[in-house]
């Protein structure tokens, strides 16, 4: 059966670490990093990239528009 696989690219330096994307993601793909970016924010990153289904919910709620989403059909 065809499956959708997604991937996110997050602009680390523009992320403000608000966590809104993390709680929105239905597949727990995202997390805030322990490290901080140059502005001192714990930036969001794909902690569990294999789980991403490319639904774009994270990008749609990201206030600062720093998430870009890609997806492909596999299988």
Partner 1 sequence: MAEINTNDIVRPENLTYVKSKILTDNVMHYCPGCGHSTAHRVLAEVIEEEDLQSRTVGITPVGCSVLMYNYIDVDFQEAAHGRAPALATAVKRLMPEKFVFTYQGDGDLAAIGTAETIHTCNRGENILILFINNGIYGMTGGQMAPTTLEGMKSSTSPYGREVATMGSPIKMADIVALLPGTCYVTRQSVNTAGGVRKLKRALKKAVQYQNEKRGTCFIEVVSNCPSGWKMTPVESNKWMEENMFPFYPLGDIKVPAE
* Shortest distance in whole angstroms from residue 47 CB to ligand SF4: 10
9, 20, 50, 72: residue in contact with ligand SF4 (rule CB under 6 A): 20
Question: Which of the residues 54 through 73 are near ligand SF4 (CB under 6 A)?
Answer: 54-58, 62, 64, 66-67, 69
Q: What residues have CB less than 8 Å from 23, skipping those under 6 apart?
A: none
DSSP H helices, the chain, are 20-24, 57-61
Dihedral, 58, 61, 65, 70 alpha carbons, nearest 10? 30
Using CB distances below 5 to 8 A depending on partner kind, what does residue 30 bind out of partner 1, ligand SF4, none?
Answer: ligand SF4
């Amino acid at each position: 059966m065809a499956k959708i696989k997604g991937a996110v690219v997050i602009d680390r330096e523009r992320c403000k670490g608000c966590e809104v994307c993390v709680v929105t993601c239905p597949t727990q793909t995202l997390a805030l990093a322990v490290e901080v970016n140059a502005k001192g924010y714990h930036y969001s990153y794909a902690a569990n990239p294999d789980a991403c289904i490319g639904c774009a919910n994270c990008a749609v709620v990201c206030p600062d528009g720093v998430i870009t989403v890609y997806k492909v059909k596999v299988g």
